[in-house]
């Protein structure tokens, strides 16, 4: 009897999870994320990565991943297949709406106020940010970035041609948000510890510490 109830409980939990997943959807203009089986150093791949709207993300053993913006989604996947590469979609679910907590736990602890909903401070200062990059188009960071500098000389092959803030990992954008996110245009996004600061000067840091 106990085993029967255990099985029923497991099935019930599974059905609830499936119904929850079904409520998630990807916005129509959301980027497409692809995993490509192949050598990222090949001339064919390098030519593909120079397309507008195609962004290299991370290398793996036997392949790599890319983010394809809306204006390039139509043909990218098929073109890669035509070039002889194996391609598969990476499932990404993005919640549509505003954050349930505009001041995450770390921000509340910094301000020693669990009830805080908006931050202030940082006016007149510029923050130097060491990380994997910054998504300068993020709505909570747009217009906040002064410039970028590779401080390592150890960027991946696809990074060598750029001195942009492009974030290949996502972690740098997260930490930059903790520093200077200003809630976005309508103030309903995420807030960082110093939203009044002038901007962030990004300096790439992958392996070693070097001055910007």
The answer to whether residue 111 scores a pLDDT higher than 50 is yes
Which tens digit of pLDDT belongs to each residue from 68-110? 887 777 788 888 888 889 998 887 666 567 788 899 999 999 9
Domain endpoint, select from 42, 75, 94: 94
The torsion defined by the Cα of 193, 164, 52 and 141, in degrees rounded to 10, comes to 10
First-to-last CA distance in the chain?
67
Together in a domain, 2 and 28:
yes
Identify whether residues 118 and 192 lie together within a single domain: yes
Which is more confidently placed, 184 or 11? Answer: 184
What was the pLDDT predicted at 193?
Answer: 93
Residue 66 in any domain: the answer is yes
Domain C-terminal end among 45, 75, 94:
94
Number of residues written out for the chain: 212
- Mean pLDDT score, 32-46: 88
- 160 and 187 within one domain: yes
**Is residue 40 situated within a structural domain?**
yes
Greatest Cα-to-Cα distance within the chain, rounded to the nearest angstrom:
68
Asked whether residue 58 falls in the same domain as residue 112, the answer is no
The mean pLDDT of 2-13, rounded to a whole number, is 45
**Concatenated DSSP letters of 30-44:** --EEEEEES-TTSHH
Q: What is the mean pLDDT of residues 39-52?
A: 87
pLDDT value of position 201: 74
What pLDDT, on the 0 to 100 scale, is given for residue 114? Answer: 92
42 and 77 co-located in one domain: yes
Strand partners, 204: 131, 150
Q: What percent of the chain has pLDDT over 70?
A: 70
Domain holding 110, by residue range, is: 105-204
Last residue of a domain, one of 94, 119, 138: 94
In this model, does residue 127 exceed pLDDT 60?
A: yes
Cβ-based neighbours of 127, under 8 Å, separated by 6 or more:
179, 180, 194, 197, 199, 200, 201
- Domain assignment present for residue 44? The answer is yes
Residue 211 covered by a domain:
no
Q: Is residue 100 in some structural domain?
A: no
Task: Count the domains in the chain.
Answer: 2
- Specify if 196 maps to a domain: yes
Residue with tokens 């974030």: 167
Region of poorest pLDDT, from 4-18, 24-38, 174-188, 198-212: 4-18
User: Does residue 207 register a pLDDT over 60?
Assistant: no
pLDDT 10s digits, 152-193: 555 544 444 445 677 766 788 888 999 999 998 888 899 999
Cβ-Cβ contacts under 8 Å for 158 (sequence gap 6 or more) = 40, 46, 49, 56
User: Residue 27, CB half-sphere, CA atoms under 13 Å: how many?
Assistant: 9
* Residue 99 domain flag: no
In the sheet that holds 126-131, the strands lie side by side as: 126-131, 199-204, 145-150
Whether 79 and 111 map to the same domain: the answer is no
pLDDT beyond 80 at 209: no
State the chain's mean pLDDT as an integer.
75
């Amino acid at each position: 009897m106990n085993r029967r109830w255990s099985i029923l409980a497991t099935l019930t939990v599974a059905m609830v999870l499936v119904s929850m997943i079904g409520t998630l959807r990807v916005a129509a203009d959301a980027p497409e994320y692809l995993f490509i089986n192949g050598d990222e150093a090949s001339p064919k791949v390098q030519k593909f990565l120079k397309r507008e709207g195609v962004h290299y993300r991370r290398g793996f053993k036997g392949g790599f991943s890319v983010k394809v913006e809306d204006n390039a989604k139509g043909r990218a996947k098929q073109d890669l297949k035509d070039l002889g590469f194996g391609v598969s979609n990476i499932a990404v679910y993005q919640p549509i709406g505003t954050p349930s907590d505009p001041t995450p736990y770390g921000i509340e602890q910094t301000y020693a106020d669990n009830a805080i909903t908006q931050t202030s401070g940082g006016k007149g200062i510029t923050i130097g940010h060491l990380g994997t990059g910054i998504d300068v188009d993020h709505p909570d960071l747009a217009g906040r970035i002064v410039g970028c500098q590779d401080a390592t000389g150890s960027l991946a092959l696809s990074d060598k041609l750029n001195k942009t803030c492009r974030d290949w990992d996502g972690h740098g954008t997260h930490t930059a948000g903790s520093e200077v996110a200003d809630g976005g245009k309508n103030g309903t996004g995420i807030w960082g510890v110093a939203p009044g600061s002038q901007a962030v000067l990004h300096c790439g840091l992958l392996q070693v510490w070097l001055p910007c």
